[in-house]
Structure 1
Amino acid sequence: MRNNCSFENVDNLMQSLELVIYLPTFVFGLVLNALALVFFCVRLRKWTESTIYITNLALMDLLLLLLLPFKMHATNHRWQAEMHRLCSFLESMYFVGMYGSIFTITCIAVDRYIAIQYPFRANQLRSPKTTLVTCSVIWGVVISATIPVHSFREDKDTDFHCFHGFSKNGWNPFLIGALEIFGFIIPALVIIFCSLKSIHTLRQSERNSTMNRICKRIIYSSLFAFIVPFTPCHIGIFLQFLVRQSVITDCYVQNRIALFVQVAMCLANITCCLDAICFYFIVSEVSSSNETFRRSISQRRTLSTSEV
């Protein structure tokens, strides 16, 4: 509830700021993710667990990116009342893309942890088929979890700003609690644990130092791509929840929280570009593996020739 506070200054500022953030995010994110899909779907002949997860992450990012023009339009224009259903659909797809990315990054961290920590059992625990099933489950879970979004708007007879002004249903304590715990806290703990354990294991190993460095870069970049965009926005969601529950009533503080939430949500979308860092290192890993394989074959052929 906004009480009698005026948020006009915040809304006016965000009309310009969102464009400044969204336009480069949309352009660069669209190009980078499209290139990633072309590389992994066209150029690579063999699908691995990592490339399947990365492709799924790129699809999630593209879903987010394709919704940004609607968000930019909704920030500066009121939509007509009959567009409520379209707005609810777009809002639900936005959350599908965001939390689908979070769960995919989490699965990438777990998959990498298994491959590094249990190399001899990895072939039993990991497979492309299992990865495809996992990605399908992610899509099913996030789509099902966003069904309540369609009830976030109660007044459907007036013009409105899409992606803004959720009703009390959207700030239900149970819903926000589940969002924070299952949508951020648990994935964050899993990613941090798997990342730290994997890095520790790689540091202890002295074999394949080049590959170890590449793996550590992938882990660090994945951790960075998760922590930087998603931590501020979930802190902001919790603070806004306190405002809606009348725990925070000071008007000045409410304005600052409103600004922080909107900026944090904008910055959360840069994950579409940050994930490209992960794509780059995955490509490096694949290229390095292929080069190692070619060198091995070349050496074997040379030895065979010399023996003859």
Structure 2
Amino acid sequence: MSEGTNCTDINIIDKLAVTIQSGISIPTFILGLPLNVLALSIFCRFWSRQTKTSVYMINLALADILLLLSLPLKLYYSTKEAPGLLCAFIQSLYFVNTYGSIFIIVCITIDRYICIRYPFEGRANQSPKWAILVCCFIWAVTWFCSSPMYMFQEKDELLCFHNMSKQAWNIPYIVSVEVFGFLIPLSVIVFCSAQNIWILLNHKNGAKKKAEDRGSLLVIIINLVVFLVCFTPVHLAICLQCLVRQHVIVDCNLKQKISLFIQVSMMVANLNCCLDTIFYYFAVREFREKAHLKKIIELSATCLARGTLTALF
């Protein structure tokens, strides 16, 4: 606290944050977990017809499930002291799946951009092998980048997400998180979304194709808005908290507001786990249409074969 500043006890802020977090996290967990488990099970049923997009969807659902499972631990150990190693694991689990989700969303956006910009090349190149390699790379990188959680964590009994050491808030580390974890993904998503919107708005197609374009346009806009709403506040909060830890911001009341802001914004980011189901709905619809088309082709081939045999005999 700065000298001569009459500040409210920080414990009051933490108690308020816990109340707000509970109000957001509990519905997110109750709604998000079954929806993501259902989506994952449906995608696995279509394993024999996997495409690049479906591989990304499976990994996004898995990341969302793991993040949702970390929420009860996060809520509990934000108010109860735990060993430093346990806190490091909970924090690592939380952040790995947060940034894993961000990078997979970027991959889905790029894939959609290629399919819309170059429809013939994009749809012809739907082999899942490349997507599997990309997802393995994302998981490996995010887990590797979470290793500072174990190095920077205080060793004693502590409250998780509250007692990161000063090293964790050094400027190079936070700049890396902001640039590679948010600004670059945001730039890619904004660029691809803007290009997709422009292309779809300028399509000259039949009524049926225009209806499909409107559906795609809606998904693109929702995806962009959801990404901005969910992930912009938490990265702004991380930046402000870094300034607090570097003693650039010293006013006590402002520090308390930032403390509340970062805790609440982390919970807002978790809403993405529920909103990702918009992607799942359209992906499952594509699977259903492809499966239906495949049945029609198989039935037509059977009828054609029978007709040929009848003609011969």
Q: Same fold (TM over 0.5)?
A: yes
| Distance in 2 separating the partners of 1:268 and 1:71 | 14
Q: Retained in 2: the 8 A contact 1:214–1:285?
A: no
| Distance in 1 separating the partners of 2:132 and 2:48 | 16
* Range with greater deviation from structure 2 (239-248 or 290-299): 290-299
- For 1:117-266, list aligned pairs within 5 A: 117-122=117-122, 126-154=126-154, 156-157=155-156, 159-207=157-205, 208-266=209-267
Q: Retained in 2: the 8 A contact 1:75–1:162?
A: yes
> What is the match of residue 105 of structure 1?
105
TM-score, normalization by structure 2? 0.88
1:38 and 2:41 equivalent?
Answer: yes
> What is the match of residue 20 of structure 1?
23
Question: Root-mean-square deviation (CA), in Å?
Answer: 2.4
1:271 and 2:272 equivalent?
Answer: yes
| Distance in 2 separating the partners of 1:7 and 1:104 | 37
Q: Retained in 1: the 8 A contact 2:51–2:126?
A: no
Offset, 1:286: 3.4
1:65 and 2:30 equivalent?
Answer: no
Offset, 1:69: 1.1
* Range with greater deviation from structure 2 (70-79 or 120-129): 120-129
The change in CA–CA distance for 1:297 and 1:215 in structure 2 (over 3 A counts) is: farther
| Distance in 2 separating the partners of 1:214 and 1:298 | 29
Q: Retained in 2: the 8 A contact 1:64–1:94?
A: yes
Offset, 1:213: 2.4
Cα deviation, 1:49-68, whole Å, max 9, x if unaligned, reads: 11111111000101101111
Offset, 1:152: 2.1
The residue type paired with residue 216 of structure 2 is: C
| Distance in 2 separating the partners of 1:144 and 1:292 | 42
TM-score, normalization by structure 1? 0.89
The residue type paired with residue 102 of structure 2 is: I
Cα deviation, 1:157-214, whole Å, max 9, x if unaligned, reads: 3x31012221101101000000000000000010010011012112222332232223
Cα deviation, 1:19-45, whole Å, max 9, x if unaligned, reads: 111111111110110010111111564
- Aligned with 1:78: secondary structure? coil
Q: 8, 14, 19: which is aligned to 1:11?
A: 14
| Distance in 2 separating the partners of 1:203 and 1:102 | 26
Cα deviation, 1:220-277, whole Å, max 9, x if unaligned, reads: 2322331111010001110111111111111111111111111101111111101112
| Distance in 2 separating the partners of 1:183 and 1:296 | 44
| Distance in 1 separating the partners of 2:301 and 2:126 | 29
The residue type paired with residue 223 of structure 1 is: L
1:52 and 2:55 equivalent?
Answer: yes
The residue type paired with residue 278 of structure 1 is: F
| Distance in 1 separating the partners of 2:49 and 2:295 | 16
Q: Retained in 1: the 8 A contact 2:2–2:251?
A: no
Structure 2: 5+ residue stretches without partners: none
| Distance in 2 separating the partners of 1:19 and 1:293 | 46
Offset, 1:86: 1.8
> What is the match of residue 283 of structure 1?
284
| Distance in 2 separating the partners of 1:146 and 1:212 | 39
Larger radius of gyration: 2
The residue type paired with residue 234 of structure 1 is: H
Percentage of identical aligned residues:
41
Aligned pair count? 300
Structure 1: 5+ residue stretches without partners: none
- Aligned with 1:160: secondary structure? coil
| Distance in 2 separating the partners of 1:279 and 1:124 | 22
- Aligned with 1:247: secondary structure? coil
The change in CA–CA distance for 1:290 and 1:198 in structure 2 (over 3 A counts) is: farther
